[in-house]
Amino acid sequence: MTDWLAVDWGTSHLRVWGMSRDGAVKFRKTSDAGMGHLTRDQFEPALLDLVGEALETDRTPVVICGMAGSRQGWAEAKYVAVPCAPPGIDRATPLATRDPRLTVHILPGVKQTSPADVMRGEETQIAGFLALNPKFDGIICLPGTHTKWAHISAGEIVSFRTFMTGEMFALLSEQSVLRHSVAEMGWDPEAFADAVSTAMSNPSDLAARLFSIRAEGLLNNLDAHEARARLSGLLIGAELAAARPYWLGQHVALIGDDALCKAYADALGAQGLPVKRTDAERMTLEGLKAAYEGLKERAT
């Protein structure tokens, strides 16, 4: 029996777990019905298309994190200002639905006014990490399209910064002149490490170093796999240089895609900084479970 639905609604994908009341996963389903592909009135049908057959006749609680709560999403959910604990169900946005079997709650994001910054979805992963590591004080880095660095203390998000490193890599490797030099797949760990070191030591010449990738491909037959690793290393190195006040001398935990987290772990490890790598999907689910516990408490 499915007692509730845990939903991670991203820009490009939708993930749903059918859950029992005690937190056991009954099923997991995914689709490409991400926020970026839907109009506001298409969210409920997209959810029902994926899991409607699993719903009972009673009203099923649905706890949602991610981009369904964005301005372009199902309904705009509020932001909670730092410093704050990762916001739970008590600050969620309830949503009326056409289907009487659904009771929807969209979790809020987190905002920072100075410097201006926002996160939506990552706060639930942070909540999941803290549910498993309640005494953690340090930095949580969430590599991705928009990488987050969050300072955690006493169970609260104290401050955070976002870097568009992943999006810049995609744009440069797929749409800039570098697309002619960079392989779609493949890796060179030595080229990556060297590029990280180069960018960290002199981040001000990043733009020139980037064009050198193209020039070396033309003049010196730079291998396309090496070029890909070098591009990634330059961008991550420049990010680490800017984020140094966050990670220097801190305990750092990584939450994100395995391959991307390995790149960040290697880059930070070269600075003598040990890191804790985690399973991103598990952190998301643990955060949604923590929110549902709040819903159960309100119902009793």
Distances (CA, A) of 259 to 53, 112, 113, 256, 277: 35, 29, 32, 9, 11
> 219 Cβ partners below 8 Å, 6+ apart?
none
Mean pLDDT confidence for 110-130: 97
For residue 277, is it left (φ>0), alpha (ψ between -120 and 50) or beta?
Answer: beta
Residue whose pair of structure tokens reads 């955690």 in the numeric block:
152
**What integer pLDDT is reported at residue 151 of this predicted model?**
98
pTM value?
Answer: 0.94
pLDDT digits (tens, 9 = 90+) for 239-283: 999 999 999 999 999 999 999 999 999 999 999 998 999 999 999
What would the two tokens of residue 221 be? 């037959």
**What integer pLDDT is reported at residue 299 of this predicted model?**
64
pLDDT digits (tens, 9 = 90+) for 138-150: 999 999 999 999 9
> Residue 100 class from Cβ within 10 Å (0-12 exposed, 13-18 middle, 19+ buried)?
exposed
Domains of the chain: 1-120 (3.30.420.300), 121-300 (3.30.420.310)
C-alpha span between 25 and 18 (Å, rounded) = 6
Mean pLDDT confidence for 103-115: 97
- Bigger pLDDT: 58 vs 106: 106
pLDDT digits (tens, 9 = 90+) for 157-216: 999 999 999 999 999 999 999 999 999 999 999 999 999 999 999 999 999 999 999 999
Mean pLDDT of the chain: 95
Distances (CA, A) of 107 to 66, 92, 228: 8, 4, 37
The CB density around residue 289, as the number of other CB atoms within 10 Å, is: 20
C-alpha span between 141 and 157 (Å, rounded) = 12
